[in-house]
A and B are shown apart, each in its own frame.
Chain A
Amino acid sequence: MFSTRALGVWRFVHTWTSLLCTAFLFILCMTGLPLIFQDELQAAFPNGPQPAAVSADMPELGLDRIAGIARAAYPRDALRSLFLDDDAPQIFAILAPTIDASNDANHFLTIDAHTGAVLKDSLHPQPGGIDGFLTFVRTLHAELFLALPGDLALAVVALVFLAALVSGLVLYAPFARRASFGTVRNEGSNRLRWLDLHNVLGIVIGAWLLVVGFTGLMNTLSTPLFGLWEITDVAQLLAGYDKLPVVKPQASIQIAVDATLRAVPGSVILSVTMPTHVDGSPLHYVVWTKGASPLTSRLMTPVLVDARTGNVARVAPLPSYLRAVEISRPLHFGDYGGLPLEILWALFDVLALTVLASGLYLWTAKRFSRSKADLVADEAVLVSAE
């Protein structure tokens, strides 16, 4: 139950929070569309050679051989880490001039996990493909090309968007109670019809908007939260090691991986970082694992494996605030239910764009282009709702 004054306040909040974030939401919805289908787009427009088609029973070479291939390709550089691709039998080998060089000096090779062929070399990029476009879109979507300030700006946008959603939900009932659900009034101006469409579409996809908005807010906070984790928990974990020299591994990478899989059963290996002072430990391999189910597919757990003995030194689950961030990711990307769910996600996105566009139209029509007759007719209908 609202007084007229309370309703006015909610309308003011809804109008201005919506307007504040509309331009950003257009960018996010538009750039989100291709990102929903990024795996399919990369498969349709490959950049350079792809992993060889092999029989299902052909074993992969193993991480030590892949590491050897990467080192042989750049014998003067140090191998920093190996990343296993989820979607294709290929491994990304990250190299740098020295093991403790800045991450800005990194370059990478993409290596076929079965044949050992070098498929891509970031120092010799191949033209074509869609990777550049997707990187552009992803960077725009995730951080507006502003790195951490972009993350934080989008966090503010997400908060404003959630305020717009809540105020929109509050306003729905007073304007919808006079007619049955889904009614679109055509007896007034065009603006009235779009007001009803805005209300109906907004309420139909309201739950999806809330979920994607909230998980988007969580995502924007992931960089600062990971930074917080690095200067607190990670610093504490590596205290006492950071002044030691980087060891030459005695245990193979495969031994480290096998030990990790025994320590974290049911997990999937995501990457292996060699002993280093940069984003790692000078005495350990850092083996990053993740869960195998849709829920845990983005839930990472770092494992420290002694590079001299191959024994697990520490399993270091992420703190609860980072686990919450990781678990929220699938609900933002919609990539956990196959291609049909991706298509449904895109359709929700299109409806969200329609709600945005109709909201913007309603505001501009009211402010700039409505005739006096429209004004009188609309106010009559709106007052009847009150």
Chain B
Amino acid sequence: MTMSSKADATSVWRMPLVLAALILLGLFDALLIDNAIARLIAWVLLIVPLGVGFYCFVRGLRPSLDRTRPGL
């Protein structure tokens, strides 16, 4: 019994890979380039996945249990 098809795997991983790329770019951007603009870019890059995380968390905790919260 197989668990996923190739097409499924692509769509499942698209958003996680984008977020992972943003995090890694943000972390290494400020580390490798020592100036204010690089820092600013790093902050913005890192805020995006954090925002997604907190948005999903808060939405998942909303009290209404009558239906599934759809994805992003």
A interface list, Cβ under 8 A from B: 1-4, 7, 172-174, 176-177, 179-187, 193, 196-197, 200-201, 203-208, 211, 293-295, 330-331, 336-338, 340-341, 344, 347-348, 351, 354, 386
Contacts and interface: CB of A to CB of B under 8 A. Distances in A.
Nearest to A210: B20
Nearest to A348: B50
A200 B19 CA distance: 12
Contact of A174 (B3, B52, B53, B61): B3
B9 to A, nearest CB: 6
Contact of B20 (A2, A186, A207): A207
B3 A1 contact: yes
Contact of B43 (A206, A208, A344): A344
A184 B56 contact: yes
Contact of B19 (A196, A207, A347, A386): A207
A293 B71 contact: no
Given A187-B67, A197-B60, A337-B30, A181 B15 contact: yes
Given A182-B52, A337-B30, A341-B42, A208 B23 contact: yes
Given A186-B65, A294-B30, A351-B54, A180 B71 contact: yes
B39 A351 contact: no
Given A181-B12, A184-B68, A351-B53, 16 more contacts: A173-B12, A177-B12, A180-B71, A182-B56, A186-B68, A204-B19, A204-B53, A205-B49, A205-B53, A207-B19, A207-B49, A208-B23, A337-B31, A337-B39, A344-B46, A386-B1
A361 to B, nearest CB: 13
Contact of A183 (B30, B34, B39, B69): B69
Among B32, B50, B53, B56: residue with most chain A CB under 10 A: B53
20 contacts: A177-B3, A179-B68, A181-B16, A182-B56, A183-B71, A184-B60, A185-B69, A193-B65, A197-B56, A197-B57, A197-B60, A200-B56, A200-B57, A200-B60, A201-B56, A203-B19, A336-B31, A337-B30, A341-B39, A347-B54
